[in-house]
Structure 1
Amino acid sequence: MAARPAPVAASAIARELHLPRSTVHHLLNTLAAHGFVLHLLEERRWALGTTASELAGGFARQQPLARLGRPLVAALADRLGESTHLGVLSGADVIYIVEERAPRRPALVTDVGVRLPAHLTATGRAMLAALPAEQVRALYPDVAAFSTRTGRGPRTPRELRELLRGIRVAGHASEDGEVTDGTRSVGAAVLDASGWPIAGIATTWSSDGPEPPDAAAAVVQAAEELRRRLR
């Protein structure tokens, strides 16, 4: 499933693995019980679950993604003069794996290892916008899936869909006081060869000051460079 750009039917899994359908269904139900996969009932397909994302996030924190991303995040902070960070999706959350604090800038909540709701952060929104619609629906099936930190941000699946549609058009994501009052961020997704979002890079600055010149373009450029280095 990790190699597929979209959720897959059990019959396709059975064909690829040369296993009986009954065996595949038993295995999938066992994996689903432990959170490794999700069953998308309406589509009759299966997708990776939050536990699989946790494992992927753990690998990323210790392996090439963080190692290759760290110098790019540091260079981005130097270029913009603002704090920057790299995060990965873990279910409906973002886990930050690299953080570069710019001198004399406000303290942020995005320390390494911190989890934040993906639908509120610039990194998370950029990655969600690159996911298949079915995966987003599985993560945010109803209003109960939406949390808030400052009283702002999408509250319904429809609001999230509209937000992600705009991000896909713009090519980058942003947030304004939705993670922390008084701060703004812009972020971009790092995609693998199949177009799957494996990480997000963002920069954050104080709402009291101007947006760093060419912040969005610089973040997109850093994300593209990390994608190139990971190939």
Structure 2
Amino acid sequence: MPSFTSGLVRDFDVLELLGSAEAYDQGGLGVQAIAEHTGRDKGQISRVCRTLHETGLLERHPVTKRYALGHRLYAIALRTREAHLAGLAQRTLLELVVQAEESAHLTVLRGGGVLTIRTELSQHTLRDGSMSGMTLPALRTASGRAILATFTDKEVEAWWDEHGVYRPPPENAPRRPRDTPELSKLRRQPGSIRSLNGLRRVIREVRKVGYAVSVGELNPDIVDAAAAIVDQTGTAVGAIAVGAVRERIGTHYELMGEAVTTHARRISDLLGGSPL
């Protein structure tokens, strides 16, 4: 039996076991099974699991009493993944700014919104500004459309059922960070996509050309294009977007689309993925 000198190491042993394929396939493991796998005392394992459950690192099924990895652990993993993604994307975003001479953004889908986790600004006086830390309505953004285009048809329908129609937050809900009055108003107003069929039409076009475009949906003077970043499982983990002043870009949206597609593919390659 291994010799443990740290409570953290012992607890990690339990977390690692519950992250295994066996635990996932069985919907978690009970205290007895965890004790047998780790070679530790059942009473000790019971106390460890109870503590981890109280902190949100584990969840316990109310009927089977089996433990599984909890929501808090997944939240930590998500933040870690996004930090890793931001690090990978920095050089690519800078290269995109040089190539397109426009501001470039790295975004991720969060429920019904798109969160910008990194922005590199162009040197133009008139430019698409920094949106780092902002969450924008997914349907209005090229990033949201590009990511949704990687979903299966059933996933798109499920997403629409939950997020397609604006629902005001509860009165006691905290205000979103950097949510200006203009953004709050924007969330309440319908964009060009007003139905599930409308979303499906947009997605078909995105899948056809490999990138998404949004014209004047967030700001009447700005057009943005985006392409999804996918990992080795084929899951979209984010998108690369570039925003430009419409007066400067004209109708040459395909040039923006080709640029974001190229740079999104570079990051996807680093993650072992194959984009649209």
Higher relative helix content: 2
* Shift in Å, 1:194: 2.0
Select which of 146, 149, 155 maps to 1:135: 155
Deviation at 1:146, TM superposition (A): 4.6
Equivalent residue, structure 2, for 1:16: 25
Shift in alpha-carbon separation, 1:109–1:54, aligned structure 2, 3 A: farther
Hey, what does 2:171 align to over in structure 1? none
Q: What per-residue deviation string (whole Å, max 9, x for no partner) do you get for residues 66-104 of structure 1?
A: 001011011100111001101011112111111011012
CA pair 26-185 structure 1, distance change in 2 beyond 3 A: farther
Post-superposition offset of 1:14:
8.8
Cα offset, 1:154, TM superposition: 0.4
Change (3 A) 1:175 1:140: same
What is the aligned residue count? 198
**Alpha carbons 2:224, 2:243 under 8 Å: kept:** yes
Q: Secondary structure at the match of 2:132?
A: coil
Unaligned runs of 5+ in 1: 1-12, 37-50
Q: Note if 1:182 corresponds to 2:221.
A: yes
| Aligned counterpart for 2:212 among listed residues 148, 168, 173 | 173
**Distance in 2, Cα, partners of 1:213 & 1:96:** 23
Cα–Cα, structure 1 residues 187 and 205, in superposed 2: closer, same or farther, change >3 Å?
A: same
Taking the TM superposition and a 5 Å limit, the aligned residue runs for 1:197-212 are 197-210=236-249, 211=252
Out of 100, 105, 114, the position equivalent to 1:80 is 100
Work out the CA distance in 2 between the residues paired with 1:73 and 1:154.
Answer: 28
Compared CA separation, residues 201 and 19, structure 1 to 2 (3 A): closer
How far apart in 1 are the matches of 2:190 and 2:74? 27
Highest Rg: 1 or 2?
Answer: 2
Deviation at 1:156, TM superposition (A): 1.3
Q: Structure 1 CA distance, aligned partners of 2:75 and 2:136?
A: 14
Q: Match for residue 81 of structure 2?
A: 60
Could you tell me how far apart the structure 2 residues matched to 1:108 and 1:61 are?
23
Query: Residues of 1 paired with 2:237 and 2:269: CA distance?
Result: 13
CA distance in 2, matches of 1:139, 1:224: 25
Partner residue, 2:91: 71
CA shift in 2, pair 1:182/1:15, >3 Å:
closer
Give 1:53 shift: 8.4
Correspondence for 1:219 = 260
Asked whether the 8 Å contact 2:111–2:163 carries over to 1, the reply is no
Q: What is the aligned-residue RMSD (CA, Å)?
A: 3.3
SS in structure 2 at match of 1:113 = coil
SS at match of 1:140: helix
Q: Report the AA paired with residue 242 of structure 2.
A: T
Pairwise CA distance, 1:213: 7.5
Alignment gaps of 5+ in structure 2: 1-21, 30-59, 168-184
Higher relative contact order (CA 8 A, sep 6+): 1
Q: How many angstroms apart in 2 are the aligned matches of 1:136 and 1:213? A: 25
Alignment of 1:106 onto 2:126: yes
Post-superposition CA distance 1:170-195 (Å, at most 9, x none): 11100000111111011100011121
Q: Distance in 1 between matches of 2:236 and 2:209?
A: 16
